[in-house]
């Protein structure tokens, strides 16, 4: 029972993180686009919308368990991309906090990799997409 509760709490935490991220984007898409453009990316508004809907998909996967392992892997790749693109070494001299943000993304990725391998658990989960094992 403790394992099921821990997995459920982890899924809710993952979903909450991505729901917060997408809600900030939907509340001020232009601010997100400006931040993306400041990092040097073209088509910033389009990328902001893509990111918001991608995060929505991730949140739904974590809440339902649908394609959970695949979503965990994609989320891990996304999180590491964000670490490098927005908190990478080029920003550390301007703010020591940026290094902390950079490292935090790796700890988040480690949890996502663990989730990808172990799956969504057996409680409150739709098992669609979980028939493939990640090796």
64-103 pLDDT per residue, tens: 999 999 999 999 999 999 999 999 998 898 888 999 999 9
Beta carbons of 12 and 124 less than 8 angstroms apart: no
Please, what's the b/e burial string for 66-89 (b: 16 or more CB within 10 A of its CB; e: otherwise)? bbbbebbbbbbebbeebbeebbee
18-74 pLDDT per residue, tens: 999 999 999 999 999 999 999 999 999 999 999 999 999 999 999 999 999 999 999
Beta carbons of 126 and 25 less than 8 angstroms apart: no
For tokens 């993180």, the residue is 17
Q: What is the dihedral of CA 1, 59, 76, 88, to 10 degrees?
A: -130
- The dihedrals phi and psi of 132, each to the nearest 5 degrees, come to -95, 135
């Amino acid at each position: 029972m403790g394992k099921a509760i821990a997995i459920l709490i982890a899924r809710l935490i993952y979903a909450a993180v991505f729901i917060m991220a997408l809600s900030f984007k939907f509340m001020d898409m232009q601010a997100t686009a400006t931040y993306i453009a400041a990092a040097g990316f073209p088509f910033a508004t389009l990328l902001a919308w893509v990111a918001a809907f991608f995060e929505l998909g991730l949140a739904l996967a974590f809440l339902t368990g649908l394609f959970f392992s695949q979503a965990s892997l994609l989320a891990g790749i996304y999180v590491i991309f964000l670490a490098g693109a927005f908190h990478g070494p080029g920003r550390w001299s301007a703010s020591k906090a940026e290094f902390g943000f950079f490292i935090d993304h790796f700890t988040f990725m480690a949890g996502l990799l663990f989730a990808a391998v172990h799956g969504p658990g057996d409680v409150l989960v739709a098992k669609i997409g979980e028939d493939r094992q990640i090796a």
